[in-house]
Structure 1
Amino acid sequence: MNFLEISRIGFMCAFFLYCAAFIFYVIAVTGKTWRNHDPERHEAKWGRISFAASSLGLISHLIYCGTRWAYSGHVPVSNMYEFMTFLSMMIMIAFTVVFLMYRKILIGMFTLPLAIIIMAYAAVFPQDVQPLIPSLRSIWLYIHVTLAATGESFFAVGFIAGLMYLLRTIDFRGSDKISRRQKWWLEFTLFSIIIVLGFIVSVFSFRASGYEAVFIQNQTRIDSQVQQNSTIVTKEVYKLPPIVAPHQSEPERMQSFLGMKKPLFEAPSWMKGANAGRKLNTVIWAILTGTVLYLLLRLIIRKPLGQVIAPALRGASPDVLDEISYRSIAIGFPIFTLGALVFAMIWAQQAWGRFWGWDPKEVWALITWLFYSAYLHLRLSRGFQGRKASWLAVLGFLVVMFTLVGVNLIIAGLHSYAGTD
């Protein structure tokens, strides 16, 4: 058994241990209301079991990282599978730090699902060990990416605590305009998370069924030296039924799905970048599947999701949740600043000969930094606390996730070496 096989086993063990730990955290929180139980004793007992399970999962996660690193010879953050798996591991480390500071079991019940979803999302992408492209063969890969992921992991814990604060304090029975608006935006946040689940479900479902469609795409390229146009013929493979076909393409092979024998429309010509049509098709499938999942959940529970989750937080202190959110972001901000901006610009100078080039990933990293700078400024000088600060913490992490997911998968740029399939 080589290091690569051990890393795969470590990944699976970590995933299932996190799932088990989440169940234990739910039992620890909700079981306090069971009859013939001492609530404090029950919470303490299952809290220890839950934290032990999540810690074992983290150890397995570290084994995955170490053995994959030993096999490949570089820190495993060079593609989407490796980076998102590394991010979920750092979220668990950040959670462990915060948990040891505050000893709040509720944080575990909400953080574990985020780590699980990110690991499942990572598993969608190719898992083969890929050689580093020349621009990544640098010590700055270790410094820039790992520090950026560490900062983002604390932002994730801040997001979790902020979301919990909103669930704890929003009046779901209120009918005034402010209450309705708060409930709508909270439900939209939960819907956005389900969209990611929809992406995961759609990819794994069609992958299991062996679905595949192949298109022949004709791309026109202008040769500036001879002032002539040349046509490049490429093949683009879809693993999801093609609602959107690549621009200027013809299907070579396409399986029928629900009677759909051809794409509904073609990707617009202004969508640039490799595999633009396939990426748009993936986004559409994620939204469709996520919407169906959300509607099914609403049909089953017959209530807004936030209203169903909120009762689990009745015993939580809003002030403590607000403090956890702020402290997590305050820890993550300087780490993110060093990793995503300062060291990133140094590496950009060495790799591409410039500190800044308005690449989409650079722009969104700057937007993320400016957003959290504004958060800390408003928090410290303008007294933004409680609900206002929590909304900013939630929105900030949505910006982080777009920087990680949207920029890599939708927008073409120098950072589009995500290893997508």
Structure 2
Amino acid sequence: MSDLLSFSSNMFVVAFFLYCAAFILFAVALMGRRWSNRDPVAHSKKWGKIAFIGSSLGLIFQLVFFVTRWIGGGHIPVSNMYEFMSFLSMMVMVAFTVVFLIYKKTLLGLFAVPITIIIMAYAAVFPQEVQPLIPSLQSYWLKIHVTLAAAGESFFAISFAAGFMYLIRTVDFKGKDKKAKRKQRWVEVIFFSIIVVISFIATVFIFRAAGYESVFTQTKVAGQEGAQNTVTAKVSYKLPPIVAPYQSKIESFEPFLGMKKPLFEAPSWMNGVNAGRKFNTIIWSLLTGAILYGILRLIVRKPLGTAASPLMEGIDPDDLDEISYRAIAIGFPIFTLGALIFAMIWAEVAWGTFWSWDPKEVWALICWLFYSAYLHLRLSRGWQGGKSAWLSVIGFLVVMFTLVGVNLVIAGLHSYAGVD
């Protein structure tokens, strides 16, 4: 089975690079039309088809990865963060393929394919070994609940891509009034958020490749008065520790850029074993994100939204609005079945209750309520265009916090993410 799992991992890598190539081809299809001596529309159509073939090949290889890992691991590969995020990235490509075949919009690939690439890269941050299923996951409901939830979320990702494109297309980046400047700033915030995620992934891989590690020993008092006990745990940092765990001692410290000890200690309310390390990761993500954002601003010499807006010339914003809405219309019932109805049935089977106010359950409900409000406002109140686009962008940010923030920051019944 080890050979099959090794083959599966290779398929994941091949799919990743095919998606990267497809993204470049989508860029050639759209940007190259300006310098094409022939008909720009024909140029875009030709290279768009080639790019779509490349993304479809990537999807085929990722499907091979999924099936071979399932066979080699003995269970459906959606049980930890590496497997789930890999599966989600695959479903995003499935959703993109469906929407592309319906609307034939080449530009969508320039924004949807990078979402898959980022999610795959994020998945690779986590331990990739096949892990045995814990008892609560040993159920056929795992296949139903997780796969349908991810399928629904993948269409929300396509809606985010189309909605963000709509904003870049319609926001007046030359406007000087307060309303225009406010919209410009929020578009820039979205760009910065995406760059922070990319920077986090890149930073983790760089320090992992360098073999960086610093270790702290943290002592924590647990229990109530009269029955207290002292727990000592080691905390391993894979990123240079700007912030140390609360009330910890350095066991080993690898200097970085002249820094021979952490700059400060995590506040007292961050006294969890991994709280300081997570806070350190957030700081590194924001720092590297700000640096990368600054470099990009220096290169283009203008806000990123202003630089991206010319790409949307000739694109009908009503088409983008329609794609964003249709993607949510498709994904919402699938998400409702997978993330709520079947999830509650499984919760009753596994834990004896349909609802336990677990953080993951609460945030899944928040996602459902948000998209319910979106559809209500869209259909009953006529919220189309800009209002609808902002909601589709915000909604996917809520989804990503549910997938990432809840699993990695908030402890609960769903804390089996396989985090290193």
TM normalised by structure 1 equals 0.97
Task: Classify the secondary structure of the residue corresponding to 1:215.
Answer: strand
Residue pair 1:15, 1:57 contacting (<8 A) in 2 also: yes
2:88 aligned residue:
87
Corresponding residue for residue 213 of structure 1: 214
Given residue 357 of structure 1, which amino acid in structure 2 is its aligned partner? S
Deviations 1:97-132 (A, max 9, x none): 000000110011111111111111111111111111
> Larger deviation: 260-269 or 186-195?
260-269
CA distance in 2, matches of 1:413, 1:38: 57
**Residue number in structure 2 paired with 1:239:** 238
In the alignment, the residues of structure 2 paired with residue 272 and residue 59 of structure 1 have an alpha-carbon distance, to the nearest angstrom, of: 45
Cα offset, 1:274, TM superposition: 4.8
Please name the residue that 1:176 is paired with.
177
Pairwise CA distance, 1:363: 1.0
Separation (CA, whole Å) in 2 of partners of 1:274 and 1:54: 42
Percent of residue pairs bearing the same amino acid type: 66
Q: How does 1:47-86 map to 2 (within 5 A)?
A: 47-86=48-87
1:270: Cα distance to partner?
2.5
Contact 1:274 1:412 in 2 (8 A): no
Q: Does 1:392 align with 2:391?
A: yes
* 2:235–2:273 contact (8 Å) kept in structure 1: no
Q: Quote the RMSD (CA, aligned, Å).
A: 1.3
Residues 11 and 61 in structure 2, CA contact (< 8 A), matched pair in contact too: yes
1:41 deviation in Å?
A: 2.0
Matched, 1:167 2:168: yes
The Cα shift of 1:245 comes to 1.4
Distance in structure 2 (CA, Å) of the matches to 1:391 and 1:8: 37
- Where 1:250 maps in the other structure, the secondary structure is strand
1:232-381 alignment runs, 5 A limit: 232-271=231-270, 273-381=272-380
Summarize deviations over 1:79-99 as a string: whole Å, max 9, x none: 111111111100000000000
Residue identity in the other structure for 1:102: Y
Distance 1:274 1:347, change over 3 A: farther
How far apart are residue 222 of structure 1 and its match?
A: 2.1
Offset of residue 409 of structure 1: 1.3
Match of 1:157 in 2: 158
Task: Give, in whole Å, the separation in 2 of the partners of 1:348 and 1:361.
Answer: 12
Aligned partner letter, 2:114: P
What is the rounded CA distance, in whole Å, between the counterparts of 1:406 and 1:103 in structure 2? Answer: 34
Instruction: Tell whether the 8 Å contact from 2:33 to 2:41 is kept in structure 1 after alignment.
Output: yes
Per-residue CA deviation, residues 186-224 of structure 1 (Å, 9 max, x unaligned), is 000110000101101110111111110111111212279
Note the alpha carbon deviations across 1:55-94, whole angstroms, 9 max, x for none.
0000000000000010111111111111111111000000
1:389 Cα offset (Å): 0.2
Amino acid at match of 1:154: F
**Structure 1's 118 and 303: CA in aligned 2 closer, same or farther, altered over 3 A?**
same
CA apart distance, 1:258: 1.6
* Letter in structure 2 aligned against 1:295: G
Counting matched residue pairs gives 419
Q: Which residue of 2 aligns with 1:2?
A: 3
Check conservation: 1:272, 1:412, Cα contact below 8 A: no
